[in-house]
A and B are shown apart, each in its own frame.
Chain A
Amino acid sequence: MTRQFWNGNMAAAQAVRQSRVEVIAAYPITPQTHTVEYLAQFVADGELDARMVKVESEHSALSACCGASIVGSRTFTASCSQGLQLMSEVMYFASGMRFPIVMAVANRTLSVPVNIWADHQDTLVNRDAGWIQIYTRSVQEIYDMMLVAFASAEDPRVNLPAIVAYDGFILSHASEPVTPLEQSVVDDFLPSPRATERPLMDPAKPQQFGEVLFPEWYPDFEYKKHSALVGAADVLTERFAALAELSGRRYDLVERDSDPGAKTVIFGIGSMMQTARHTAAKLREQGESVAVVNLRVFRPFPEQAVAKALQHAETVLVLDRDIGYGSAGMVYPDVVRALYHAEHRPTVLNFIVGLGGKDITEQTILRSLELAKDGYRGQSVFWPDARGPQEGIAPSAQR
């Protein structure tokens, strides 16, 4: 197909349309709203044979998706920010019930203060809900990852819900070139929704699902759920390879920009990693040894792949567009875990950037690199684009 000029929400909606989703239930919230509006239009125009379920809240939206998924429907929802928080309770239910629901999240921070712009707070606080979490850096990647999400979530080895996250406004509302796949190619890439091997409910023969499990067996159940999510890494890798074959676009759990021997590595998730790549490329031209490693899949966390990608680094800057209040950014602890047993353990520092949609520019990246030059001096978490630390406000809060 020819190159299109789509915004992020349109790319997500088009991928959902081509995935032949059967049930959609969502509640509007900025900046996700267009995704569902586009899908409603596709359904109204007869371009997508799906049932749009109108609901009164996000909690109901995901509940409706669960109901649709239990009878085997391919199911989609979308949300972000406060809406995602309202869904949170049902998210654990969806993963426990092993429903391969796919959700698009146009990342937006959490109130208060009220703010509609991008950071990863909303999805990262739900990191332990048992969902696959895939992050994207461009509009093309949103389209591609939506397809990978359906293919991986529904794989019988996985059967878990998946989130495809993209930065609100900066990707959701930004238009970029997208080369979509032909419908027939998408059809081959995705399993037939009717071929599912998971236990389904036959409405004609009602059964009870999701009932009580006593302590004796509870850990076993949780272990199976955890193992399925860990194992999803292999399935995702397979699907990335399959997609590369069809599209020529290569993805991996962890993606290394260039220069495997670089001394300084910038690590993180989301659209800011593109700006980081742009900045690092400039620095390399000036003879500096800087590379960028992008974490595409945050859950399951690809521990070995992260350790491998960072094995030659002396300093790793983990950029977090989020903050785990009272601790550090939420990507940082996992990276430290991955590197703890490494042969040459690098210095790993954490940079809290771009909260509430603050633009992450080349200056933000350069300032982070500057702060990292001194290495670890009893402080691991830095706020390069916040006024507080620069103006000497509450320095103890940074320790």
Chain B
Amino acid sequence: MSNAKLLTEVRLVGRGGQGVVTAGELLGAAALAGGANAQAIPTFGPERRGALSSCVVRVSPEEILLKHSVARPDILLCLDPTIWQVNDVRQGLADDATLIFNSNQSQESLRSALDERGFFASNGATVFVLDATAIALEQLGKPITNTAMLGAIAGATGLISLDALGACYRERFGPRAEVNLACARAAAERLTRLPSAA
């Protein structure tokens, strides 16, 4: 069915308290502002600060009928530097997925840590990395990386635009929108692509 191709699924993962759910809502809203249909389904457990928190966002030009959080993500966005090392966040990941990590490790050590956990198994994945925590600490003074990481999606994939993101930030954050948008812009600029398998 053509619908399957048109549908983009994004999985956002982080830890409770980092704004994963808000990020999912903002991503969906930005896609909506760009004229697409969108749906953001957060997955919840008994909430605890620091525990795995994730959200599935679906974007499609057509009406989205699927009502479950089991996804085959085309994009994986890791807000937290270590969550993917302690929880398996790869379930259903598409072979040619785009993976975006927040890390301040060297490319080599990140690469071997990712290899160790099978993130390059398919060789088809495109991996981006940026130090979103540093951006958040610079701009917000807090290690809340969600608004920066959305900028990374805009920079890496074109699923949403920085303009659409800006409009959503203004509606959501009011006077705090500009500083969050600065996070997103910085993230889109500082994003680097990890070379594919040697």
Give A residues with C-beta under 8 Å from B. 3, 5, 7, 31, 116, 137-138, 167, 169-171, 173-177, 271-272, 274-275, 277-278, 281-282, 285, 359-362
Contacts and interface: CB of A to CB of B under 8 A. Distances in A.
Nearest to A114: B46
Interface size range of chain B in the complex = 20 to 34
B135 interface: no
Contact of B25 (A175, A177, A272, A361): A175
A171 B67 CA distance: 8
Contacts of A138: 67
A3 B67 contact: no
Contacts of A275: 65-68
B68 A361 contact: yes
Contacts of A272: 67
Interface in B18-35: 21, 24-25, 28-29, 32
A234 B154 CA distance: 50
A173 B42 contact: yes
Contacts of A360: 67-68
Interface of B: 1, 3, 21, 24-25, 28-29, 32, 37-44, 46, 64-70
Nearest to A354: B68
Given A177-B37, A361-B70, A116 B28 contact: no
A301 B40 CA distance: 32
B41 A177 contact: no
B32 A5 contact: yes
A170 B69 contact: yes
Given A170-B41, A177-B37, A5 B25 contact: yes
Given A173-B41, A174-B42, A175-B40, A271 B25 contact: no
A277 B37 contact: no
B1 A281 contact: yes
A388 B190 CA distance: 51
Contacts of B28: 5, 175
